[in-house]
Structure 1
Amino acid sequence: MNDLNFVTAGDGARIAYRIDGDAGMPVLVLSNSIGTTLRMWDLQINDLSKHFRVLRYDTRGHGESSVPVGAYSLDRLGRDVIELLDALGIERAHFLGLSLGGFIGQWLAVHAPERIDRLILSNTSSYLGPARQFDERIAAVLQAPDMSETAEMFLANWFPAHMLATNEGIVEEFRAMLLATDRQGLAGLYAAVRDADLRRTIALISRPTLVIAGQHDTVTALSHSELIAATVLGSKLLVLPAVHLSNVEYPAEFMQAVLGFLR
C-alpha cells in the first residue's frame, strides 16, 4: 500500500495515513512534528520498511487529515492513534514520535501501554510551558496574512545555520510543508502542546523506551530529554549533535539508533 488512505476518528475527523513494508513484519508507527506531514519521515522509509510494516499518518490539523476548528487536546491526538490502529486491526506496535509526535507517544505509553511495544521519543518534551507563549503564538498565526513569517521562524528553530545558509533541498521541502500548513490546524495543535503536562505521569511508562535528544535543540532542549530519561524507569538516552530534526540532520546516526533499539 503506497498511497494515502483515510480512517474516520470518533469525532468525525478524517486521519490520512500511509503504509510501507510487507504485511508480515512488526508494525512501527511514525508520528510527525508540528508544522510537518508524514513526509518528514521520507529519508527513513527505505531502511525502515525493510524491517517493519511502517504506518505513518498526518496528525489532525496537518497534511491531508481533517482540520477541525478550535483547540485540540493531547487526549484526542492519542485517541486518533488508537482508533487508527483499531481500524487497521493492529493490536500492538512500536511507536516513534518526534517533537509533537513524542508528546503523543508519551500519552499512549501512559494511557494505552498494552498497544505499545517499544517506544522512541525524539526531540521532545513532557512540558513546554508557560501557556502564555502559546496563546501569543496562536493569536499571531491566526492574525497573520499567510504562513511566510511562521515558516521562517520554524526553519530557524529546526535547522543549523549552515543548512539554512546553503538553502539545501531538504530545507526547501520542509519550507513547502510549513507554507502549506493550515493555520487553524497549527493553532489547534499549539493548544494541545500548551495544555500538556506529562512530567509526573510519564513515571508510569513501563515500555522499553529510547529518548533521542539534540545537543543544540532550542525547541525541546536537551534538559527536557534528560528529564524524560530520568523519569521513565530503565529508559536509554542518546544525544546527537543536532538541532531539532535529528532524523534529517543526522539520518545515518538516527537510523542506527532506531534499528539498534527496535531490533
Structure 2
Amino acid sequence: MRFISLVWFLSISSLGLAQEKEEAGGAAQANNPLANMTALNFHNYYMPKLNDAPNDAYLNTSWIRFAKPLSKGKLLLRVSVPLSTVAIPDDTRTVNAENGLGDINAFMSYNFISKPNATVGIGPMISAPTASADALGTGKWQAGLAFVAFVVKSPQFQLGGLITWQTSVGGDADRADTNNAAVQPFYFWQLGKGTYLRGAPIWYFDIENESYAVPIGLGIGKVIKVGNTVFNCFIEPQYSMLHKGTQPQLQLFTGINLQFVNP
C-alpha cells in the first residue's frame, strides 16, 4: 500500500512539473516575434514629453500588427499599420493635433535558425507612403532589411532583438529623404503562472538628420491561454537615457498580443 501511495505521489509530482514546464515554455513563446503561430497585436505608445519641443507637445501612436508564418514556419510575414496623433503647439501656444493613418510597413523574415531554444531570421523590409497627412508620415517609399533573433536561455529568461534599417527609394520629390535604423532589444523574466517582467524599448537612429533616442524600459505582463488563443497583456514605462533632436523623453508602451495556436 505504501509502495502504491509512493508511486501515485511521484506520478502526480511528475505531471505537475511537466505542466509547469509546459506553461513556462508557452509563456516564453508568447513573446517570440518569430513564433510559428499566426498573431495579431495591438500596441500603443503614448509620449507625453518630447525633447527640444514645447511642453504641451505630445505624440501617440497605435500599431496594429499581423504576423503570419509561411512555408511551415521558415518564412514569417509581418505587416504593421500605425494610427497616430501628432500634437505640436503653434506660435500662439495653440495645440493643433493631427490624427490619422501613418506609413504602413512590412517585412518578410527567413528563419535560417529555428530551434526550440533559438530562432533567428532576416529578410527585406518595405514602407509605403500611406499617411493621411504630412505630419504623420514621410511621403516616401522606403526599403531596407530586418534582422530578428529570440533566444530562450531557460524557462525563466528569454533574450532577443529586432534590428531594422531602411532608406527612401522614391515618393514625393518635395519631401526630405530618409535613412534610419532601429534596434529593439527585448528581455523577459518569467515569474510563474503567466506573469513576467519585460523590457522592449526601441533605440531609434535618424541617420539622415543626425538625431537619436535610446530609451530603457521595464514593465510587467501576463499571459493567459483561452482555448486555442494565447492572450499576452502588458504595460511598460520607458525613459530615454540618450537623445538628440526632437525625440520622446518619456513614453508608456502598452499592448495586447494574440497568438492563435493550431488545434
Larger relative helix fraction: 1
Which structure carries more relative contact order (alpha carbon 8 Å, separation 6+)? 1
Structure that is richer in strand per residue:
2
TM (normalized to structure 1)?
A: 0.28
Structure possessing the higher radius of gyration over alpha carbons? 2
- Normalising to structure 2: TM-score of the pair? 0.28
